[in-house]
Each structure stands twice: as structure tokens, then as C-alpha cells.
């Protein structure tokens, strides 16, 4: 008979490493598994200079959160380790974030953190500790189909985090567990926290990007790249200069505010030429696109990605975490590249964002890639 994590052995003989951020979700995972008798080890990653965030709540892996995770482990009497990954995190996530903005893109660093840190380095550590699996507080579901593990949306679609986990490989999925994915709502998680007598039961959810103080992306980039505020021209779609700006890092595709261009109809950022420091603006309809190109594809489908039907893979795609999925055709170019034809108009899509594939009429995640070009 299988235990709640899917292993055919007793919980006490099943070692599970829990990635503990110090928030209510991962704390509930650790406490719930401990209460069921599993051999739990908690690990918290110190990812950035927590001196800046020691008193800041609503973040991930900041100083106060590390202390919360440690207190829970002490109370429930299971081992807890804090691993300093500051240099690795800076190199793989923060520096790439800054470079992406300097290149005129709009990055999603939380996906890179899951891909390069949590599900790579932390998983390696879990295996070194001879764990049977790594459990996290993400709101997604892992199901085992006829062809192996599958990634699915969470039961609670309002909390679903599958968009941020598209880069998870099949091998990683085999080792991962997501105990909260089946819960009906975040309220259920907090009720569990209260039942388990966790002091973090009413702790606010994480907001914004963990290493961005006060939500100011430009502040972080200026600190990392002091020469990032290079001025340049703002031009209309005819190439006529109509204004000046103080650096491309201050703009994203679809932005309207902060252009400081008076008069006339509303204008939006339609293109960012980072090489020449040029911001192009135009009417809202100029943001409409129906086709995008993507790379770094991670395919989680059951069939060979390159063996797509003549018209491409019929899927649903999300081009933003907060927007609903729309029907699309994914046309493979190589194992890691594809063109995506959308069934309806989309606006404000920017290079650097993720395009995530979902099975039509189903909760299954089929993978995704990074937007490199819009057409």
C-alpha cells in the first residue's frame, strides 16, 4: 500500500526534504508530513543579502522568513539547514534579470529560480541526503500517467502556479512532490496551519520579486549596472523623434505611463531597441500580435515534440501568468525552438516572457518556452 507521497513503504521509512521558504505554504507541507510520520528534513535557501530584507515580510527566503522556518523545525523537532546560495542566485537569476532588462526584455525571474536553483541545486542536495523526494509548497499537481509523471494545474485555479514551473523536466517531476496541489483553496491551507498550530498561519503571501525592494525593478538594475541610465530618443512608428528618455530599463512593452509625451491620443511602448537606446511608441492597436517565436523549449508531452501534426500541436497557451490560456498552434522548428500561432489577438507581449503550453480542455501542462520575437 502506498503512503500519501506515493511510496510503497511506511512514512517513517520515507525521507523527504522540504523546501522551506518560511511562508505558510511550505511550513504547512513540512508540518503535515511530519505529523503523518515521515522522516522530514527542512532546507531553506538564503538567496540574497537578507540584511536588506531582514524586517521585510511578504518575500521569499528573506531574513525574517529564514527565522520562521527555523522556529517551525525546532518546534516540530526535525532537522533544518540553511544553505547560502547568494552567489549562485546572483549569477543565475539576478544578473540575468538585469541583463534581460538592459536588452529591452521583460524577464520572469521566479521561473529561472525554480529551474536553476530550487529544482537543480536543491534537488541535488536532497539526493545527497538520501531523500526519497523533494516536497515544495507550490500549488500544482503531479500525476503519474501511462508514460510517467505529468505536471497539472492546481485544483484551486486562483492559486495555480503551473505557469512558473513549465521548465521542470520529467526527471525532476519524478522526484518532486506537491502536497498542496489538491487543496480546494488557500483558506484550506491556512486552516491546516491553524490545526497544526503554526504561528505563520496568518502570515501574508509572498508579493513581487523577492530581491526587488519596494517593487522597484529599476532601483535594482541601477545598483547592479550603474551605467544603465543611458538617455535616448522616443520615436513614433514613422521613425520621427517626439521625445527623450532616461534609459530603456524604465520601459516595458505595452507601457503607457511615464512617457512624458503630451497631447494627442494615448501612446504605448511598442518596441524597445536597447542597442540604440530607442523607444518606439504607437497606438494601442499596434500592440496586437497573433504569432510569436520561442526558444529554450521544455516539452512535457507524451509524444515526440518534433513529430507534430502538419498544422502543429493544438494546445492552449498562456503568455502571462495572470491571463487565461487561449487556443494556439505550436509549430516545432527544432527540439528547443518553435513558432506559436495564436487563435486570437494578444496585446503587450514582450520578449523575455514565458509561453506555457496546456493540453486542450485539460489541466495538463505540456511544457513551454521563452518568447524571443513577436510578429
Active site residues per annotation: 113, 210
- Please state, in angstroms and rounded to a whole number, the distance separating the CA atoms of residues 374 and 3: 47
Cα–Cα distances in Å, from 38 out to 31, 78, 260? 10, 10, 59
Task: Report residue 363 as a C-alpha cell.
Answer: 489541466
CB 114 within 8 A of CB 168: yes
Task: Report residue 96 as a C-alpha cell.
Answer: 540575468
- Please state, in angstroms and rounded to a whole number, the distance separating the CA atoms of residues 71 and 76: 9
CB 288 within 8 A of CB 133: no
- Please state, in angstroms and rounded to a whole number, the distance separating the CA atoms of residues 294 and 308: 16
Burial, 222: exposed, middle or buried (Cβ in 10 Å; 0-12, 13-18, 19+)?
Answer: middle
Nearest to 56, CA basis, from 222, 220, 209:
209
- Please state, in angstroms and rounded to a whole number, the distance separating the CA atoms of residues 203 and 238: 51
- Please state, in angstroms and rounded to a whole number, the distance separating the CA atoms of residues 183 and 294: 33
- Please state, in angstroms and rounded to a whole number, the distance separating the CA atoms of residues 28 and 192: 7
Q: In terms of DSSP bridges, do strands 15-19 and 133-135 run parallel, antiparallel, or are they unpaired?
A: parallel
DSSP 8-class letter at 219: H
Contacts of 357 (CB under 8 A, 6+ apart): 166, 301, 313, 315, 316, 317, 330, 365, 366, 367, 368
Task: Report residue 70 as a C-alpha cell.
Answer: 527555523
Amino acid at each position: 500500500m502506498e503512503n500519501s507521497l506515493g511510496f510503497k513503504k511506511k512514512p517513517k521509512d520515507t525521507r523527504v526534504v522540504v523546501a522551506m521558504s518560511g511562508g505558510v505554504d511550505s511550513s504547512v507541507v513540512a508540518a503535515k508530513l511530519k505529523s503523518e510520520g515521515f522522516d522530514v528534513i527542512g532546507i531553506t535557501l538564503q538567496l540574497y543579502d537578507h540584511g536588506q530584507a531582514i524586517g521585510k515580510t511578504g518575500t521569499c527566503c528573506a531574513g525574517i522568513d529564514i527565522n520562521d522556518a527555523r522556529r517551525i523545525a525546532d518546534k516540530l523537532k526535525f532537522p533544518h539547514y540553511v544553505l547560502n546560495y547568494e552567489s549562485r542566485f546572483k549569477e543565475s537569476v539576478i544578473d540575468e534579470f538585469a541583463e534581460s532588462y538592459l536588452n529591452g526584455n521583460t524577464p520572469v525571474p521566479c521561473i529561472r529560480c525554480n529551474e536553476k536553483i530550487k529544482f537543480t541545486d536543491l534537488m541535488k542536495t536532497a539526493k545527497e541526503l538520501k531523500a526519497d523526494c523533494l516536497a515544495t509548497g507550490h500549488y500544482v499537481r503531479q500525476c503519474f500517467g501511462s508514460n510517467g509523471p505529468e505536471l497539472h494545474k492546481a485544483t484551486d485555479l486562483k492559486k495555480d502556479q503551473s505557469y512558473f514551473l513549465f521548465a521542470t523536466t520529467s526527471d525532476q517531476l519524478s522526484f518532486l512532490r506537491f502536497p498542496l496541489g489538491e487543496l480546494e483553496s488557500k483558506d484550506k491551507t491556512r486552516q491546516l496551519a491553524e490545526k497544526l498550530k503554526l504561528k505563520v498561519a496568518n502570515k501574508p503571501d509572498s508579493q513581487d520579486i523577492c530581491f526587488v525592494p519596494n517593487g522597484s525593478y529599476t532601483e535594482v538594475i541601477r545598483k547592479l549596472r550603474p551605467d544603465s541610465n543611458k538617455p535616448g530618443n522616443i520615436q513614433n512608428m514613422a521613425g520621427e523623434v517626439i521625445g527623450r528618455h532616461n534609459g530603456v530599463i524604465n520601459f516595458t512593452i505595452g507601457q503607457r505611463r511615464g512617457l512624458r509625451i503630451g497631447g494627442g491620443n494615448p501612446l504605448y511602448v511598442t518596441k524597445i531597441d536597447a542597442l540604440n537606446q530607442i523607444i518606439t511608441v504607437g497606438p494601442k492597436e499596434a500592440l496586437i500580435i497573433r504569432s510569436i517565436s520561442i526558444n529554450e523549449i521544455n516539452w512535457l508531452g507524451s509524444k515526440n515534440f518534433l513529430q507534430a501534426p502538419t498544422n502543429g500541436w493544438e494546445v492552449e497557451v498562456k503568455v502571462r501568468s495572470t491571463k487565461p490560456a487561449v487556443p494556439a498552434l505550436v509549430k516545432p522548428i527544432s527540439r528547443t525552438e518553435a513558432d506559436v500561432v495564436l487563435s486570437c489577438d494578444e496585446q503587450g507581449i514582450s520578449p523575455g516572457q514565458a509561453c506555457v503550453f496546456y493540453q486542450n480542455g485539460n489541466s495538463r501542462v505540456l511544457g513551454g518556452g521563452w518568447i524571443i520575437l513577436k510578429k
